[in-house]
C-alpha cells in the first residue's frame, strides 16, 4: 500500500476473515490476522512508521467482501473504523461508485480463503459458506468497472492443503 500512495488509494479486500485483530486483542498472536488493523493505523504503529510512505488508510476507503469468520473485537474495530462489509456483488456495486469518487485508484486483495471450500481449499483456515469463483470474478470486474485497479494481491495459499490444485487454479483467475 505504501508503494501505491496511501493518500489517494482505496482498498477492496476479499477474505473469509476480518483480519482486524491487534497485538492487544489476539489470542494467537498470528500476524496474518492483523493486516487491516495495521492499514487502519490501529496495530503495530511503531513498526508501520518504519515503512517508507506508510500512512494509515481511513476505514471509509476500505471495503471488506466475503467475511464470515469474525471475532467480536474485530467486529467492533471494523465498525468503529467505518470499514464497510459486504457479501454480494450487488452490495459491492452499490458502494463502489462512492469509493471511486474519493480515490484515484484501488488495491484489490484476494485472500483465497474467501472461496467456499467446495470451490477450493487454499489453507487450513478456509471456512464453509464462502463465495463461488464466479462471484469473485464478477466482484473484481465490478471494481474494475468503477475504479482503476493499481495492484492486485493474492494471498493465503498453502499447497499442502490444496491437494486437488483448485485453489492454485483459482489464484490465476
Q: What is the pLDDT of residue 29?
A: 61
Q: What is the pLDDT of residue 33?
A: 67
Task: Note the pLDDT tens digit of each residue in 58-110.
Answer: 999 999 999 998 888 889 999 999 999 999 999 999 999 999 999 999 999 99
Please count the structural domains in the chain: 1
Residue 90 lies in a domain: yes
Owning domain of residue 103: 6-18+58-71+78-171
Task: Note the pLDDT tens digit of each residue in 40-67.
Answer: 998 888 888 889 988 999 999 999 999 9
Residue 51 lies in a domain: no
Residue 44 lies in a domain: no
Q: Full-prediction pTM beyond 0.85? A: yes
**48 class by beta-carbon count within 10 Å (0-12 exposed, 13-18 middle, 19+ buried):** middle
DSSP letter string, 71-93: -HHHHHHHHHHT-EEE-SHHHHH
In the predicted model, what is the mean pLDDT of residues 120-143?
95
pLDDT band at 160 (very low <50, low <70, confident <90, very high): very high
Residue 107 lies in a domain: yes
Q: CATH number of the domain at 141, please.
A: 3.40.800.10
Q: What is the pLDDT of residue 30?
A: 62
Residue 101 lies in a domain: yes
Q: Is the pLDDT of residue 14 over 80?
A: yes
Element (H, E) at 7: none
Residue 45 lies in a domain: no
Amino acid at each position: 500500500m505504501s508503494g501505491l500512495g496511501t493518500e489517494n488509494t482505496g482498498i477492496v479486500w476479499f477474505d473469509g476473515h476480518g483480519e482486524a485483530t491487534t497485538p492487544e486483542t489476539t489470542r494467537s498472536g498470528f500476524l496474518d490476522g492483523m493486516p487491516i488493523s495495521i492499514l487502519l493505523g490501529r496495530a503495530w504503529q511503531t513498526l508501520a512508521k518504519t515503512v517508507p510512505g506508510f500512512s494509515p488508510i481511513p476505514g471509509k476507503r476500505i471495503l471488506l467482501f466475503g467475511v464470515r469468520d469474525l471475532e467480536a473485537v474485530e467486529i467492533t474495530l471494523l465498525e468503529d473504523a467505518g470499514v464497510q462489509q459486504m457479501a454480494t456483488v450487488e452490495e459491492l456495486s452499490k458502494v463502489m461508485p462512492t469509493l471511486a469518487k474519493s480515490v484515484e485508484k484501488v488495491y484489490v486483495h484476494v485472500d483465497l480463503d474467501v472461496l467456499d471450500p467446495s470451490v477450493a481449499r487454499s489453507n487450513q483456515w478456509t471456512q464453509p459458506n464462502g463465495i463461488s469463483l464466479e462471484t469473485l470474478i464478477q466482484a473484481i470486474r465490478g471494481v474494475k468497472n468503477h475504479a482503476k485497479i493499481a495492484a492486485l494481491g493474492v494471498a493465503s495459499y498453502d499447497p499442502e492443503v490444496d491437494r486437488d490444485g483448485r485453489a492454485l487454479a483459482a489464484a490465476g483467475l
